[in-house]
Every structure is written in C-alpha cells, then in structure tokens.
Amino acid sequence: MTVIILVAAPEGLRGHLTRWMVEASAGVFVGNLSRRIRDRLWELLATRIGDGQAILIEPAANEQGWAVRTAGRDRWQPIDLDGLILSARPRKQPNENGHPAR
C-alpha cells in the first residue's frame, strides 16, 4: 500500500492523484501502486509541489516495512536511526538578535 499526503499543494495535483489513488481525507491519498507508477507520480509531485509539501509512504524491505520520501517545504525531516525511520523537526534559525525564531 502507498500513502501520499499533500499539504498546501498547487491546484491540479490533488485531481491528478485521484486518477491513481483514493482520497481518503483532504490531501491524503491511498492506493496499491506498482513501483513504476509510484516513481513516476513522485517525480511529478516533487517537481510541481512548489511551496507546499508532499510526503510519500511506501513499502520497503526494512525493519519497519515502509520508507518515506518528502518534497517541498519540509516541516519534518525523515531520518534513519539504526534502521528505524523517525521524523525530526527542523531547527529554527536564529534571528538577528541571536534568539531562536518563533
């Protein structure tokens, strides 16, 4: 099973995904895709997501049984920690006063 989550996606991307997947909730798409279709859809999403965010969760031969890809403005970054995929929040950049941005 493949899951794709779109946040603040440009017009047309959600409609394009409904050709291949079911939209279970706003911006959440679920389906059984071949690797070829999944890779082609991801190429399209990664190039057209702009300031939005796209997350793809796909089957993988690892400890958890799944892998994640992200594109666009990442609010969370997937990191591999000894074979486990965890999500890390990006660090806030300090502002001109040296304090963390809010």
**Residues 6 or more apart in contact with residue 26 via CB below 8 angstroms:** none
The per-residue pLDDT for range 64-77, each reduced to its tens digit, is 898 999 998 766 77
Taken in order 53, 80, 33, 36, is the CA torsion positive or negative?
A: positive
Write down the H helix ranges in 25-84: 35-48
Predicted local confidence at residue 96, as pLDDT: 66
Distances (CA, A) of 18 to 11, 66, 88: 13, 22, 29
Instruction: Locate 12 and state its tokens.
Output: 């047309």
The per-residue pLDDT for range 20-51, each reduced to its tens digit, is 999 999 999 999 999 999 999 999 999 999 99
Q: Which residue has the higher pLDDT, 63 or 7?
A: 7
**pTM score, two decimals?**
0.79
Predicted local confidence at residue 18, as pLDDT: 93
